[in-house]
Chains A and B, each alone.
Chain A
Amino acid sequence: MKDDNDAINSERRTFLGVAAGITAAAVAPGVILHTVAAAPRAEPVTSDVRWGLLIDTAKCVDGCSACVDACNHENGLNLQVMPAGESPQKWETQKAVWIRKIKLQDNQTGRVTTLPLMCQHCDDPPCVDVCPTGASFKRADGIVMVDRHLCIGCRYCMMACPYKARSFNHAEMHGQLTSVPRGKGCVESCNLCVHRRDFEQESTACVDACAAEGHHAIVFGDLKNPNSEISQLLNAMPSRQIREDLVLNTGVRYSGV
């Protein structure tokens, strides 16, 4: 005796086959695209590279602030608004500054030099040593930055930084950039445009701006790659670290100071 239930229902088979095919066709591109798009961001940063800057002070032009303006624009620092009731003079001392221009004169010879100064991305960063929560950290690729979820705003890193490179957000934020989240009550500083690193872009805002002005005083690159432009320049010209005596092995080097 034949059981009706044993008969193969070919209609149902066809339906399941078509449904699976349609589902795969709809979902697969999304999955593949997602994987492709996420690749640089999803991979952990490695210590195969060490990002750094070389600043040729001979090429840095007095009165030019292209790097500072570009940094402010790139990281949303230009969106800082002086709080109502604050005196402009005091606000100048409190607003966040990631990169600034300094002009100095040799006491003996009178020689004048201008240079941009920012976080020096030390190999042994004092700010990382002192941070009680570990919010101040160094990435494997040498970038020193602040984890804004861990920062409690104690400012000990600012006390410890030999370059005064860090800023504390003294006021409420308005209209932040999605690529550079910032928050009141946290400390921040130059992170070598870390969002660009994550999208594998090969420079920083200050470098681009300086080049656009035709000065080419700042070079960005991988200090570990002997063939990179920065390594070759460092090889060819004398350079030094600011506050060399502290032996912090900075990622930012200067020539002509």
Chain B
Amino acid sequence: MKRIVYREWRIPPTQFWSLLGALAAVVGMSTLAFGYMEHTGHWVSGMNSSVVWGTPHVFAVFLVIAASGALNIASIGTVFHKPLGRLSGLLAVAMLMGGLLVLVMDLGRPERLIVAMTSYNFSSIFAWNIFLYTGFMVIVIAYLWTMADRQGAPFNYSVGVVAFLWRLALTTGTGSIFGFLVSRQAYDAAVLAPMFVLLSFAYGLAIFMMVLLYSFGEDNRPIGPKILRRLKNLLGVFVAGILYFVLIYHLTNLYGAKNDSFENWLLFNGGIHTFMFWIGWILIGGLLPLGIIYHPELSKERNWIMAACTLVVLGGLAAMYVIIISSQAFPIQMFPSHTIIESSFFDGVNGQPGPYTPTIPEVLLGFGGVAVALIITVVGVRVLQFLPESLSDDVIPIDEETLSEDAFAKPA
């Protein structure tokens, strides 16, 4: 196995600065949107008393789980060789930053963030997540150090194991934010926690592959067909895994009569929610990418793999829409076997779902989080040695990978 050389991303300065400028513009717009929403109050958003978490949370939760998923590439370095580990760590930190920023910017009182850091209620999974998120950041930065610095190399394996376990805890924690809610029918399911782990595997890998393919393509660095095949096959497994969890989740719900109305609504009569589930989550985020990934010809084309990754990401956002927004829109069933025929508070009169129409400031807030994550990534790979010079199959012969301790002892 040849020595792996890492180099800064050497795209032309004009391209780098225009890329950065475009991203900064998005962040700027998003900052304005944040200021507007905080100054006037949340009434300028589409969020309301029925759908209390909206588009910002779709983006935030997506970024947070994708962050832990991106780190997987580093964790399973034995499969892909460690050259991918550094980028994986960088992406993980970047996306977590982006996602958390969106969450904080959406708070009713963001200036009280200090309260969230000084006053804890440990029966809240949210409070635990504050530690899981900040801890993740610290551990991944340490992990990057063990990968990039000779002095850190001896700790690579142990820090890597901690990082892997921590990311599992983190995604379980994020899934549990919803899974522990007994009040709403769509939540209150322990399967949400492992499902979130699977979602994170897929979304993190898809984004990782997109960034890898784009950055390597722009800098004319080679990626070998073997490593690409392994990456896309793994993505296929993850996407199929998501479909499996979705199936289990709905089969479980369908078995109990009490959930008939919810399932009937989401799967058939939910309008935008049904559309988001079938077309967004299942078709765009599941079946289409699987079709590409396992197509005998298309799966060999780099552009098609890129397309499959993009579909997984789009489907992921649709999945977040269904998990976060649709689940709230379905009215809480307070009176079983009764129909609410009048209410002054949108209690699901005649089964009507909670109203929600996203507004521009909310969407901009979400885009801002993505842009922040990308800025951190772009600047990171530009100024530091995150990207290997080559991932061609002769430089990185996958099959020569060893599982011995020695492999970890060397700096990645």
Chain B residues positioned under 8 Å from A171 (CB to CB): 40-43
Instruction: State which of B42, B120, B339 has its C-beta within 8 Å of the C-beta of A134.
Output: B120
B182 and A93 contacting across the interface, CB-CB below 8 Å: no
- On whether the beta carbons of B112 and A152 are closer than 8 Å, the reply is yes
A243-B334 contact, Cβ under 8 Å, with A159-B328, A160-B183: yes
Q: B339 — which chain A residues lie within 8 A by C-beta?
A: 104-105, 107
The segment from B45-53, B62-70, B142-150, B278-286 found at the interface with A is B45-53
Closest CB-CB distance, A241 to chain B, in whole Å? 11
**Shortest distance in angstroms between B345's beta carbon and chain A's nearest beta carbon?**
4
Asked if B123 is an interface residue, CB under 8 A from chain A, the answer is yes
The segment from A124-132, A194-202, A221-229 that touches chain B is: A124-132
B245 close to chain A: CB less than 8 A: no
Give the residues from 101 to 121 in chain B that come closer than 8 angstroms, CB to CB, to chain A.
107-110, 112-113, 115-116, 119-121
Contact stretch, chosen from A11-19, A28-36, A40-48, A161-169: A161-169
Contacts of B180 in A (CB 8 A): 130
Interface size on A, residues (CB 8 A): 61
Q: Tell me whether B126 is interfacial, beta carbon within 8 Å.
A: yes
23 A-B pairs within 8 Å (CB atoms) are namely A83-B40, A90-B43, A93-B48, A94-B47, A100-B347, A102-B345, A103-B340, A106-B338, A113-B338, A117-B345, A117-B347, A131-B126, A134-B120, A150-B115, A154-B108, A155-B108, A160-B181, A160-B182, A164-B49, A172-B41, A184-B41, A185-B42, A242-B334
Chain B residues contacting A108 (CB-CB under 8 Å) are: 337
Interface residue from B116, B124, B334, B341 paired with A162 (Cβ < 8 Å): B334
- Once the chains are docked, how many angstroms separate the CA of A101 from the CA of B126? 32
The smallest beta-carbon distance between A87 and chain B, in angstroms, is 10
Instruction: List 10 A-B pairs, minimum CB-CB distance, nearest first.
Output: A153-B108, A185-B108, A162-B183, A103-B342, A132-B126, A93-B48, A134-B121, A170-B43, A100-B345, A171-B41
Contacting residues of chain B (169-185) with chain A, CB-CB under 8 angstroms: 177, 180-184
Whether, in the assembled complex, A187 has its beta carbon less than 8 Å from a beta carbon of chain B, the answer is: yes
What residues on A are CB-neighbors of B135 within 8 Å? none
User: B119, A170: Cβ atoms under 8 Å?
Assistant: no
**Complex CA distance for A170 and B48, rounded to whole angstroms:** 8
Q: With A97-B344, A152-B115, A257-B335 known to touch, is A132 a contact of B108 (CB < 8 Å)? A: no
A65 to B345, CA, bound (A): 13
A-chain residues with CB within 8 Å of residue B52 when the two chains form the complex: 155, 158-159, 168
Residue contact B49 to A93, C-beta cutoff 8 Å: yes
Contact B108 A184 (CB under 8 A): yes
| CB-based contact A103/B341 at 8 Å | yes
Contacts of A209 on B, CB cut-off 8 Å? Answer: none
B328-356 contact mask (Cβ, 8 Å, vs A): 1 or 0:
10001011011111111111000000110
Q: Which partner residue on chain A sits nearest B103 by CB separation?
A: A154
Chain B interface residue bracket vs A: 35 or more
Q: Which residue of B lies closest to A104 (CB)?
A: B338
The 8 Å CB contact of A159, one of B46, B181, B340, is: B181
Residue numbers in B under 8 Å from A140 (CB-CB): none
- Is A177 located at the chain interface by the 8 A CB criterion? no
- Please state if A132 and B334 are interface contacts (CB–CB under 8 Å): no
Contacts of A93 in B (CB 8 A): 48-50, 346, 354-355
B53 touches A159 (CB 8 A): yes
| A105 partner residues in chain B, CB cutoff 8 A | 338-339, 341
How far is it, in angstroms, between the C-alpha of A242 and the C-alpha of B38 when the chains are bound? 36
Contact A154/B126 with A104-B338, A104-B340, A159-B181 known, Cβ cut-off 8 Å: yes
Q: Is the CB of A168 within 8 A of B340?
A: no
B125 within 8 A of A: yes
- Beyond A102-B345, A104-B338, A162-B334, 12 additional contacts (C-beta under 8 Å) are A68-B344, A83-B41, A101-B343, A108-B337, A117-B334, A133-B115, A150-B119, A152-B112, A152-B115, A153-B107, A164-B347, A187-B108
Q: Give complex CA distance A204, B53 in Å.
A: 32
Which residues of chain A are near B181, meaning CB under 8 Å?
Answer: 126, 130, 159-160
Residues of A close to B121: CB separation below 8 A? 128, 131-134
Report the separation of the CA atoms of residues A246 and B184 in the bound assembly, to the nearest whole angstrom: 11
Q: Which residue from chain B places its CB closest to the CB of A120 in the assembled complex?
A: B334
A126 touches B346 (CB 8 A): no
Contact check, B124 vs A132: say whether CB atoms are below 8 A apart.
yes
| Chain B, range 19-62, C-beta contacts under 8 Å to A | 38, 40-43, 46-50, 52-53
Central interface residue in B127, B130, B182, by most chain A CB within 10 Å: B182
Residues from chain B with Cβ under 8 Å of A65 in the complex = 344
In the complex, the answer to whether A130 meets B49 with C-beta atoms within 8 Å is no
Q: Which residue of A lies closest to B113 (CB)?
A: A152
Contact of B182 among A103, A162, A185 (CB under 8 A): A162
* Interchain CB contact (< 8 A) of A129 among B124, B347, B355: B124
Whether A168 pairs with B49 at a CB distance below 8 angstroms is yes
A 80-104 to B, binary, CB cutoff 8 A, 1 in contact else 0: 0001001000111110010011111
User: Is A169 a contact of B335 with CB atoms below 8 Å?
Assistant: no
- Chain B residue contacts of A103, Cβ below 8 A: 340-343
The answer to whether B184 touches A159 (Cβ under 8 A) is: yes
Residue of A at shortest CB range from B114?
A: A152
A153 touches B109 (CB 8 A): yes
Distance in Å from the Cβ of A144 to the closest Cβ of chain B?
A: 14
The answer to whether B108 touches A152, judged by C-beta atoms less than 8 angstroms apart, is yes
